[in-house]
Amino acid sequence: MADRALLSLSPSPSFTSISDRIPPFHPSILSRSTILKTRLRRTIRQICQSELTAESRSLPRLKESLENPFIIKKILKVKEPSVWISALSVGLPSWLACAQVAVASETTRINAVYEIGELFELGIQLSYLLLLLALLGVGSFFVIRQVLVRRELDLSAKELQEQVRSGDASATELFELGAVMLRRKVYPAATKYLLQAIEKWDGDDQDLAQVYNALGVSYVRDGKLEKGITQFETAVKLQPGYVTAWNNLGDAYEKKKDLKSALKAFEEVLLFDPNNKVARPRRDTLKERVTMYKGVPVKSKER
């Protein structure tokens, strides 16, 4: 039985165990992936150490190079084109974008200025139009007024002339007819009717002064200066405070180049009317002229 047991425990020639199938362990039989990983780590460590060593050696040299102005100049000379090219390549798109924005803003500003200019020009045109309309309105008013006055004078002259022809015209009506002819600038007819009014005058002498003043104006405007001065002098004698006759007398003397007599006439006006707007500037001007021409003979213009 024991022999049988031993026989049964001993391996049979046909049976092979698992250990017999597995080959014996050997270091070279490690997995290739593990070996590769180990070698890769070692290589990386060596590379890093060499780079760190090179970097530690190059840093002082780089510092010395940066502190050396000659090397900096060389670097700038060599690198300048590439730097400018890189800067241009980077900045060109942004510059183009800014240029487009600037052009757009400039166009907007020009359009705004153009619109403002159009509005300003339109305002000027409207102002000119309103001014033209105002001038036309004023001109039309004066033309219509002149036409109405002329028509009224014509009607008055026609009525008065009919009375004169009938022989029923009074001195006052003759004076009115003479004044109408004076306003119509028919001076010979005005002189004729005013002389007839003086001949037939039977009223107050102060009112007669107005007839002599009108007759003097007719003579002066008709070119008869001396006769006009005579009529003005008669008018101021009849009515010493007759300011209009004194002004007309001063104007006639000034036309005659008799500056002293003209100055005296305007001073007489200021005695009765110190604020007279006609006599005051004329008096001041004549004073300067009389002082300037003092001692210089002046030829009088007589007609």
Give me the CATH number covering residue 258: 1.25.40.10
pLDDT value of residue 164: 77
Looking at the domain assignment, is residue 4 inside a domain?
no
Looking at the domain assignment, is residue 222 inside a domain?
yes
pLDDT value of residue 6: 36
Q: How many CB atoms lie within 10 A of CB 190?
A: 25
pLDDT value of residue 22: 45
The closest of 209, 212, 149 to 184, measured between CA atoms, is: 149
Q: How many domains does the chain have?
A: 1
Looking at the domain assignment, is residue 265 inside a domain?
yes
Looking at the domain assignment, is residue 219 inside a domain?
yes
Looking at the domain assignment, is residue 250 inside a domain?
yes
Task: Output the tens digit of pLDDT for each of the chain's 303 residues.
Answer: 444 433 344 444 444 444 444 445 444 444 556 666 666 667 666 665 665 555 555 555 555 655 555 555 554 554 444 444 454 455 555 555 555 655 566 566 666 666 677 777 777 877 878 888 888 777 776 667 656 555 665 666 667 777 777 777 888 889 998 998 898 899 999 999 999 999 999 888 888 999 999 999 999 999 999 999 999 999 999 999 999 999 999 999 999 999 999 999 999 999 999 999 999 999 999 988 888 776 555 454 443
Question: Taking a C-beta distance cutoff of 8 angstroms, is the pair 247, 266 a contact?
Answer: yes
Structural domain containing residue 212: 204-292
Report how far apart, in Å, the C-alpha atoms of 293 and of each of 33, 85, 260 are.
136, 90, 11
Note the pTM of the prediction, 2 decimals.
0.52
Looking at the domain assignment, is residue 267 inside a domain?
yes
- With b meaning 16 or more CB within 10 Å and e meaning fewer, what string describes 159-173? ebbeeeeeeebebeb
Looking at the domain assignment, is residue 228 inside a domain?
yes
CA 270 remoteness from chain centre: 46
Looking at the domain assignment, is residue 277 inside a domain?
yes
